[in-house]
């Protein structure tokens, strides 16, 4: 898995609570081959999972990708799958992460739901 | 009224040819900017008033209450983290450094989740670079490595690199060779003469192979490196050597991948070596418009360009220990001020979870996921649109951002000054 | 304020070590003063130090900091009292620059090289340097517009451009570095000397230098052109120096000053055909300065240990990087310049470095008129400015020089005349080379002297010139110079015995 910038992500990133931003970044780009192999079709989502977490995203075919590689626009959905280790250099490894991908009927979490439960208990 | 030649405060290109139509104090139209820039300059719904979380909910308060609460949090903390700084002007950054000194905190910027590895690479090897205008006027060969300006810096190619005409490059795009090296095809690679697709995480190996080929030691290069046949790499090395003036632009594709700062170190070495054959420069594609600025301001004030720990009164720098993600991953910070950046969206999930466990002060014009985990929220003027100040372009060029419209929101600099005043007042109270 | 009983050296006003009182009123020297009395009985009193050539602000300085975290760690001082935290040795942070100069009794420093387009950065840093008054020289030597005016022989237009450039860049004077070389470096080459044509522009370095000198005089600027020669840092380059100086000897100065100030002469006084037969040509250079009056120089003294080389002579820095295998930063600046930064260590046992060390001292000691020679290290190229007390004591003490030479490469005496030089500078000469002359050469009328109305920038050292013999007691002198008993800036005591008491912002001169 790699994560990175897209135009739509950039245009929405100062406005993260909007539905446009959700549409722009809760995506999982994959190759046509992988799309077909996972048996995806209109209405189906993908679930990505690794040791750091799991997240549901809407699939999008991307002709620029080779099979076995997925691209997620940078943002909170992609970061569910990123580990915090910086290897001593301060920067987490946001790209080249192994994930398991499968088709799912579950729906994509809305942004507030993604952060629900995280809030610090008031003391 | 039309403001001519305004500067776009979105990406590190800092395009300075933007025309903005202002009517009755509101921005109506933006000309010349790309989609990213105009959406930023046009703006959208703002945080209305300062808020403090009470009983789990954010409640509106006065600015003074918010400043005092922020000061209290920062002073009470043992090791507060003051993070962000990329989307604001140098004047605010200077105040932030002073605040970090006063409260004994760690100041870190968004560089540590983007070009932090580039900074470390530069510490190892130096930076053979140039201003963007030099590339425009001279470069006949341009390599985009692990970056996708067509989506992240949309006007880069038109203003500074592949497609622009200059004194010694009168034919523009037609007179240039454009090479893209990436793990996938991108919008940028559509404009390239040659795209080299490498396997993810093999940048270091591929650069090493190129160094060997450039140095005439191709015999030690295996038949395939990073999924690329040797012949193709040899062709690329020849292209580089044939340049009269070459430029390498690199992005997060190489800083975020396996090897991180080692990749940059290697790329810098490649460019240094190319200079014994021809002229070559290299430049990181900085993302946020003034992430370069916080590096500059921190360097001249503290000696170090990022991740500076002031808890012992003397600047201490050790990324891997003092960078935001490391502090959070190890629960080594007990309060955070997040300004001009959205940590909750851009940090790995575990770091966000750690952030949600400590009191967070947010200073930002807009609501974003960081708001959801903040204890104090202070809305600010949009720097570069509603507040003036200096910013540093990706090539290190300092430019002056003008104020385009009036606002009732205080600027980041003003907010930080007020928090500093509250800190001083509280400190005096504590002494007594 | 009244400073009582000091032994005052104010050579610009003909005062050479006289016991007298000094009065300050509203930040300036005055006939009488009231209020605070500072007891300076028997102590050495000089105008605040003026550094006419130092690299203290701007892109290349900050690049040096960014690429050298090792250096930052070498100079850490925690925040305390009025002081912000300090870092760095060869590339100190802004605060350290202000405090450290002030501790030594310096109150003014000039950044020696700023491209027009990057001047904003330079001023952002200058503004952040506390205490000192400062200025910046603006680069013109390899600028497209300049070269086109010179090619068209349109000196009027050139003068107009220079005036515009100085105003836009808030610059103080005209700096020329390796004329034409920056343009050649745009495509990776260099010019071989002042008569080598600049690629694509149909001009030579010699024409650029003369054109800018004429424009400089047409504008009656306070400072002359400030020149870094072609071929700097290369064996045998003393001929380039002499050849270039000859070009300028018939130009009439528009003010009572030199026509050209030569930057860091040490780096351009080299003999030999390669590093192998490298030798000092300082005596030849000093002879030229002794027999001509149109030129002044600063030393660019080299000291052993750590340095950071930084210059708008980018090809030179590439050479340094290849030579030392050290890290290398380069920065080409569109339309104007190029520049580079390379960390450096100078070694006692390396013959070349030892000869370079000797050349700076020879130049200062063999040039008879101290008004023609400024004491600098071209900070941080030859050594950081913090080591000025070392340079001054070397110039004042033959025994110190002899002791130092005994620790250096054994072949050194064959390559330099330094061992045979008996001259030891006195306090008047030091006051000229560090105060009066830099102010006069820059054209700063209110600096470097104690005449009524001059800026009340004063340094008082814990040294009794009537008792101490700098030749013998050089260690004592060095210690006293490192931390002035009082440094007074615009009438305010900013430093006392090495402790910073006040950190006012200082002005930018332009
Ligand atoms: S390229 Fe960057 S700076 Fe230029 S208009 Fe687009 S977002 Fe703004
Ligand atoms: Zn210099």
Q: What is the DSSP string of C24-84?
A: EETTEEES---S-EEE-TT-EEEEPEEEEEE--SSHHHHHHHHH-HHHHGGG-B--BTTBP
A4-22 tens-digit pLDDT: 888 888 888 778 888 888 8
C-alpha span between B268 and B210 (Å, rounded): 12
List the beta bridge partners of residue C82.
Answer: none
Contact criterion met (CB < 8 Å) for A93 and B373:
no
Nearest bound ligand to the CA of residue C262: 2
Residue of A nearest to B350 (CA): A84
CB nearest B398 (choices: C95, C121, C186) = C121
* Touch test C–A: 3 Cβ pairs or more under 8 Å: no
Scanning B78-107 for CB atoms below 8 A from C yields 90, 94, 101
Contact between residue C500 and residue C103 where contact means Cβ atoms under 8 Å apart: yes
- Ligand 1 atom closest to the CA of B18, numbered from 1: 5
Whether domain A2-122 has CATH 2.40.40.20: the reply is yes
C-alpha span between C380 and C300 (Å, rounded): 9
Helix axes of C282-291 and C238-247: crossing angle, nearest 10 degrees = 10
C-alpha span between C413 and B17 (Å, rounded): 62
Contact between residue B137 and residue B167 where contact means Cβ atoms under 8 Å apart: yes
For the segment A73-82, the average pLDDT, to the nearest whole number, is 94
Q: CA of B37 to nearest chain A CA: how many angstroms apart?
A: 8
C-alpha span between C305 and C443 (Å, rounded): 33
pLDDT band at C253 (very low <50, low <70, confident <90, very high): very high
Probe ligand 1: pick from B33, B291, B391, max atoms within 8 Å of CB? B33
Q: CA of B282 to nearest chain C CA: how many angstroms apart?
A: 10
* Sheet of B18-23, strands arranged across: B2-6, B18-23, B26-31
C-alpha span between B267 and A26 (Å, rounded): 33
Confidence (pLDDT) at A9: 83
For the segment B380-406, the average pLDDT, to the nearest whole number, is 96
Q: CA of B394 to nearest chain C CA: how many angstroms apart?
A: 13
**Domain boundary assignment for chain A:** 2-122
For the segment B271-276, the average pLDDT, to the nearest whole number, is 96
Helix (H) / strand (E) containing C2? strand C2-10
Q: Whose CA is nearest to atom 8 of ligand 1?
A: B37
C106-124 tens-digit pLDDT: 999 999 999 999 999 999 9
Whether A121 shows a pLDDT value over 70: the answer reads no
Confidence (pLDDT) at B429: 85
Q: Where are the beta strands (DSSP E) in C347-491?
A: 373-374, 458-461, 486-489
List the beta bridge partners of residue C443.
Answer: none
Ligand 1 centre and the CA of B398: distance in Å? 16
Ligand 2 centre and the CA of C341: distance in Å? 12
The topology (CATH level 3) of B46-114+289-431 is Rossmann fold (3.40.50)
Q: CA of B91 to nearest chain C CA: how many angstroms apart?
A: 10
Using an 8 Å CB-CB cutoff, list chain C residues near B167.
Answer: 144
Ligand 2 centre and the CA of A8: distance in Å? 48
Confidence (pLDDT) at A120: 56
A88 φ/ψ angles, rounded to the nearest 5 degrees: 80, 5
Q: How far is CA B279 from CA B118, C315, C325, in A?
A: 21, 11, 18
pLDDT band at A53 (very low <50, low <70, confident <90, very high): very high
For the segment C132-145, the average pLDDT, to the nearest whole number, is 98
Contact criterion met (CB < 8 Å) for B366 and A15:
yes
Confidence (pLDDT) at C50: 98
Contact criterion met (CB < 8 Å) for B113 and A18:
no
Instruction: Share the mean pLDDT of chain C.
Output: 97
C500 φ/ψ angles, rounded to the nearest 5 degrees: -80, 125
Confidence (pLDDT) at A19: 84
Q: Does A2 touch chain B (CB under 8 A)?
A: yes
For the segment A12-39, the average pLDDT, to the nearest whole number, is 89
Ligand 1 centre and the CA of B167: distance in Å? 24
- For B217, counting Cβ atoms within 10 Å of its Cβ (0-12 exposed, 13-18 middle, 19+ buried), the class is exposed
Helix axes of B261-274 and B203-214: crossing angle, nearest 10 degrees = 20
Ligand 2 centre and the CA of C305: distance in Å? 18
Contact between residue B304 and residue B49 where contact means Cβ atoms under 8 Å apart: no
Q: What is the 3-state secondary structure (H, E, C) of chain B?
A: CEEEEECCCCECCCCCCEEEEEECCEEEEEECCCHHHHHHHHCCCCCCCCEEEECCEEEECCHHHHHHHHHHHHHHCCCCEEEECCCCCHHHHHHHHHHHHHHCCEEEEHHHHCCHHHHHHHHHHCCEEECHHHHHHHCCEEEEECCCHHHHCCCHHHHCCCCCCECCECCHHHHCEEEEEECCCCCCHHHCCEEEECCCCCHHHHHHHHHHHHCCCHHHCCCEECCEEHHHHHHHHHHHHHCCEEEEEECHHHHCCCCCHHHHHHHHHHHHHHCCCCEEEEEECCCECCHHHHHHHHHHHHCCCCCEECCCCCCEECCCCCCHHHHHHCCCCCCEEEECCCHHHHCCHHHHHHHHCCCEEEEECCCCHHHHCCCEEEECCCECCCECEEEECCCCCEEEECCCCCCCCCCHHHHHHHHHHHHHHHHHHHHC
C-alpha span between A39 and B379 (Å, rounded): 46
Using an 8 Å CB-CB cutoff, list chain C residues near B303.
Answer: 65, 69, 72, 75-76, 87-88, 91-93
Q: How far is CA A100 from CA A74, A109, B350, C376, in A?
A: 18, 19, 19, 65
For the segment C471-475, the average pLDDT, to the nearest whole number, is 98
C-alpha span between B305 and B307 (Å, rounded): 7
CB nearest C94 (choices: B133, B245, B301) = B301
Q: Specify the pTM.
A: 0.97
Contact criterion met (CB < 8 Å) for A89 and B148:
no
C481-490 tens-digit pLDDT: 999 999 999 9
Ligand 2 centre and the CA of C55: distance in Å? 6
- For B344, counting Cβ atoms within 10 Å of its Cβ (0-12 exposed, 13-18 middle, 19+ buried), the class is buried
Contact criterion met (CB < 8 Å) for B185 and A64:
yes
Probe ligand 1: pick from B5, B9, B15, max atoms within 8 Å of CB? B15
**Domain boundary assignment for chain B:** 46-114+289-431, 116-284
Q: How far is CA B309 from CA A96, B83, B106, B315, B316, in A?
A: 30, 12, 4, 6, 5
C178-207 tens-digit pLDDT: 999 999 999 999 999 999 999 999 999 999
Residue of B82, B150, B95 whose CA lies nearest to B418: B95
- Ligand 1 atom closest to the CA of B35, numbered from 1: 6
CATH of B116-284, one of 1.10.760.10, 3.50.50.60, 3.30.420.40, 3.40.228.10: 3.40.228.10
B67-125 tens-digit pLDDT: 999 999 999 999 999 999 999 999 999 999 999 999 999 999 999 999 999 999 999 99
Q: CA of B3 to nearest chain A CA: how many angstroms apart?
A: 22
In angstroms, how far is CA C332 from the centroid of its own chain?
24
B156-179 tens-digit pLDDT: 999 999 999 999 999 999 999 999
CB nearest B314 (choices: C59, C85, C144) = C85
What string of DSSP letters covers chain A?
-EEE--HHHHHHTT-TTSHHHHHHHSEEEE-HHHHHHTT--TT-EEEEEETTEEEEEEEEE-TTPPTT-EEEESSHHHHTT-----TTTT----BS---EEEEE-PPPPPHHHHHTT-SPPP-
3-state secondary structure of C149: helix
pLDDT band at B432 (very low <50, low <70, confident <90, very high): low
- For B129, counting Cβ atoms within 10 Å of its Cβ (0-12 exposed, 13-18 middle, 19+ buried), the class is buried
Q: Half-sphere exposure of B333 toward its Cβ, with a 13 Å CA cutoff? A: 35
Using an 8 Å CB-CB cutoff, list chain B residues near C128.
Answer: 94, 300-301
How many of the other CB atoms lie within 10 Å of CB of B140?
Answer: 17
Q: Whose CA is nearest to atom 7 of ligand 1?
A: B37
Confidence (pLDDT) at A122: 44
Q: Does B348 touch chain C (CB under 8 A)?
A: no
Confidence (pLDDT) at A119: 66
Number of Cβ pairs < 8 A linking chain B and chain C: 155
Identify the DSSP state of C224.
Answer: -
Ligand 2 centre and the CA of C45: distance in Å? 29
C-alpha span between B403 and C216 (Å, rounded): 37
Confidence (pLDDT) at A123: 40
List, chain by chain if needed, residues with CB within 6 Å of any ligand 1 atom: B 8, 10-11, 13-15, 33-34, 36-37, 153-155
CB nearest B101 (choices: C72, C84, C328) = C84
Token pair in block for residue A59: 């699939």
Scanning B263-322 for CB atoms below 8 A from C yields 272, 275-276, 278-279, 281, 295-297, 299-305, 310, 312-315, 317
- Rg over CA atoms, chain A: 15
With a pLDDT cut of 90, the percent of chain C lying above it is 99
Q: Half-sphere exposure of B432 toward its Cβ, with a 13 Å CA cutoff? A: 6
Q: CA of C161 to nearest chain B CA: how many angstroms apart?
A: 20
Whether C79 shows a pLDDT value over 50: the answer reads yes
Residue of B137, B82, B132, B147 whose CA lies nearest to B112: B82
ipTM summary value: 0.97
C-alpha span between B310 and B370 (Å, rounded): 24
Using an 8 Å CB-CB cutoff, list chain A residues near B349.
Answer: 52-53, 79-82
Comparing B46-114+289-431 with B116-284, is the CATH topology the same? no
C-alpha span between C458 and B184 (Å, rounded): 66
Scanning A78-107 for CB atoms below 8 A from B yields 79-96
Ligand 2 centre and the CA of C327: distance in Å? 20
C-alpha span between C297 and C292 (Å, rounded): 12
Q: How far apart are the two ends of chain A, measured CA to CA in Å?
A: 39
Scanning B316-335 for CB atoms below 8 A from C yields 317
CB nearest C79 (choices: B101, B122, B124) = B101
Nearest bound ligand to the CA of residue A7: 1
B282-324 tens-digit pLDDT: 999 999 999 999 999 999 999 999 999 999 999 999 999 999 9
3-state secondary structure of C370: helix
CB nearest B116 (choices: A80, A90, A114) = A90
List the beta bridge partners of residue A30.
Answer: A61, A70
Whether C367 shows a pLDDT value over 60: the answer reads yes
Identify the DSSP state of C372.
Answer: G
For the segment C139-161, the average pLDDT, to the nearest whole number, is 98
């Amino acid at each position: 898995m790699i994560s990175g910038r897209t135009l739509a992500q950039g245009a929405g990133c100062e406005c993260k609570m909007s539905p446009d931003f959700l549409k722009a970044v809760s995506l999982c780009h994959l190759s046509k081959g992988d799309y077909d192999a996972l048996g995806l079709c209109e209405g189906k989502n993908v679930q990505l999972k690794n040791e750091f977490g799991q997240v549901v995203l809407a699939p999008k075919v991307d002709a620029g990708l080779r099979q076995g590689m997925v691209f997620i626009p940078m943002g909170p959905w992609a970061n569910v799958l990123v580990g915090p280790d910086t290897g001593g250099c301060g920067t987490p490894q946001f790209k080249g992460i192994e994930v398991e991908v499968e088709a799912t009927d579950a729906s994509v979490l809305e942004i507030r739901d993604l952060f629900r439960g995280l809030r610090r208990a008031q003391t | 009224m039309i403001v001519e030649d305004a500067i776009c405060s979105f990406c590190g290109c800092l395009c300075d040819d933007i025309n903005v139509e202002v009517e009755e104090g509101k921005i109506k139209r933006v000309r010349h900017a790309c989609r990213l820039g105009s959406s930023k300059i046009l703006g959208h719904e703002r945080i209305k008033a300062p808020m403090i979380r009470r009983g789990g909910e954010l409640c509106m308060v006065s600015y003074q209450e918010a400043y005092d609460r922020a000061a209290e949090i920062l002073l009470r903390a043992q090791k507060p983290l003051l993070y962000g700084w990329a989307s604001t002007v140098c004047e605010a950054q200077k105040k932030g450094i002073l605040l970090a000194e006063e409260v004994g905190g760690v100041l870190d910027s968004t560089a540590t989740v983007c070009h932090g590895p580039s900074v470390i690479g530069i510490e190892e090897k130096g930076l053979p670079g140039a201003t963007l205008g030099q590339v425009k006027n001279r470069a006949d060969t341009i390599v985009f490595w692990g970056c996708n300006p067509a989506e992240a810096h949309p006007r880069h190619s038109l203003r500074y690199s592949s497609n622009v005409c200059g004194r010694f490059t009168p034919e523009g795009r037609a007179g240039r060779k454009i090479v893209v090296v990436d793990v996938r095809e991108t919008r940028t690679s559509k404009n390239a003469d040659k795209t080299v697709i490498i396997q993810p995480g093999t940048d270091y190996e591929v650069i090493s192979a190129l160094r060997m080929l450039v140095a005439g030691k191709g015999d030690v290069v295996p038949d395939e490196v990073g999924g690329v046949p040797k012949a193709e790499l040899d062709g690329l090395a020849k292209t580089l050597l044939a340049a009269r003036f070459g430029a390498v632009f690199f992005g997060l594709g190489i800083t975020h991948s396996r090897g991180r700062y080692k990749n940059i170190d290697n790329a810098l070495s490649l460019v240094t070596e190319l200079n014994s054959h021809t002229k070559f420069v290299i430049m990181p594609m900085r993302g946020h418009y003034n992430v370069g600025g916080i590096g500059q301001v921190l360097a001249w004030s503290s000696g170090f360009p990022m991740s500076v720990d002031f808890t012992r009164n003397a600047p201490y720098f050790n990324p891997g220990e003092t960078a935001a993600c490391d502090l959070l991953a190890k629960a080594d910070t007990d309060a955070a001020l997040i300004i001009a950046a959205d940590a909750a969206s851009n940090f790995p999930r575990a770091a966000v979870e750690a952030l949600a466990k400590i009191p967070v002060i947010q200073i930002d014009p807009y609501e974003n996921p960081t708001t959801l985990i903040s204890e104090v929220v202070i809305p600010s003027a949009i720097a570069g649109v509603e507040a003036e100040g200096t910013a540093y372009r990706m090539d290190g060029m300092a430019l002056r951002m003008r104020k385009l419209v009036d606002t009732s929101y205080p600027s980041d600099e003003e907010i930080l000054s007020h928090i500093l005043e509250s800190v001083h007042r509280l400190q005096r109270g504590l002494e007594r | 304020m009244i400073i009582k009983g000091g032994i005052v050296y104010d050579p610009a006003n003909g005062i050479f070590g006289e016991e007298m009182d000094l009065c300050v009123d509203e930040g300036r020297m005055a006939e009488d003063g009231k209020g605070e009395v500072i007891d300076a009985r028997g102590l050495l009193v000089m105008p605040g130090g003026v550094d006419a050539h130092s690299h203290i602000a701007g892109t290349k300085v900050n690049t040096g900091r960014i690429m050298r975290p090792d250096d930052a760690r070498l100079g850490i001082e925690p925040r305390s009292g009025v002081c912000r935290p300090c870092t760095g040795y060869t590339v100190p942070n802004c605060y350290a620059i202000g405090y450290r100069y002030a501790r030594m009794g310096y109150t003014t420093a000039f950044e020696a090289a700023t491209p027009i387009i990057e001047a904003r950065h330079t001023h952002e840093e200058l503004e952040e340097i506390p205490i000192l008054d400062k200025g910046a020289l603006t680069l013109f030597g390899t600028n497209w517009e300049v070269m086109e005016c010179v090619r068209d022989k349109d000196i009027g237009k050139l003068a107009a451009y220079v005036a515009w450039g100085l105003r836009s860049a808030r610059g103080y004077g005209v700096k020329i570095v390796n004329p034409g070389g920056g343009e050649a470096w745009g495509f990776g080459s260099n010019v071989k000397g002042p008569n080598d044509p600049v690629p694509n522009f149909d001009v030579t370095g010699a024409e650029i230098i003369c054109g800018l000198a004429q424009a400089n005089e047409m504008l009656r600027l306070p400072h002359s052109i400030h020149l870094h020669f072609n071929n700097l840092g290369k064996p045998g380059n003393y001929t380039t120096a002499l050849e270039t100086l000859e070009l300028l000897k018939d130009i009439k100065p528009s003010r009572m000053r030199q026509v050209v100030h030569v930057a860091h002469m040490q780096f351009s006084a080299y003999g030999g055909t390669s590093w192998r037969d490298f030798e000092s040509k300082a005596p030849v250079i000093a002879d030229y300065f002794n027999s001509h009056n149109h030129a002044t120089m600063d030393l660019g003294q080299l000291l052993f240990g750590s340095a950071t080389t930084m210059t708008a002579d980018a090809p030179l820095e590439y050479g340094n990087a290849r030579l030392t295998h050290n890290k290398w930063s380069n920065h080409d600046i569109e339309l104007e310049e190029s520049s580079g930064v390379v960390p450096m260590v100078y070694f006692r046992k390396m013959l070349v470095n030892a000869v370079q060390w000797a050349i700076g001292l020879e130049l200062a000691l063999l040039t008879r008129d101290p008004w023609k020679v400024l004491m600098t290290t071209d900070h941080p190229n030859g050594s950081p400015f913090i080591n000025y007390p070392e340079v001054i004591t070397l110039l004042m003490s033959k025994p110190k020089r002899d002791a130092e030479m005994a620790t250096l490469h054994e072949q050194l005496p064959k390559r330099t005349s330094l061992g045979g030089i008996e001259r030891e500078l006195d306090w008047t000469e030091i006051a000229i080379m560090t105060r009066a002359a830099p102010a006069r050469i820059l054209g700063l009328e209110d600096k470097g002297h104690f005449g009524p109305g001059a800026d009340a920038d004063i340094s008082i050292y814990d040294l009794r010139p009537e008792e101490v013999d700098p030749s013998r007691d050089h260690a004592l002198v060095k210690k006293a110079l490192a931390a002035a008993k009082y440094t007074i800036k615009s009438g305010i005591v900013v430093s006392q015995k090495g402790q910073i008491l006040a950190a006012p912002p200082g002005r930018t001169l332009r």
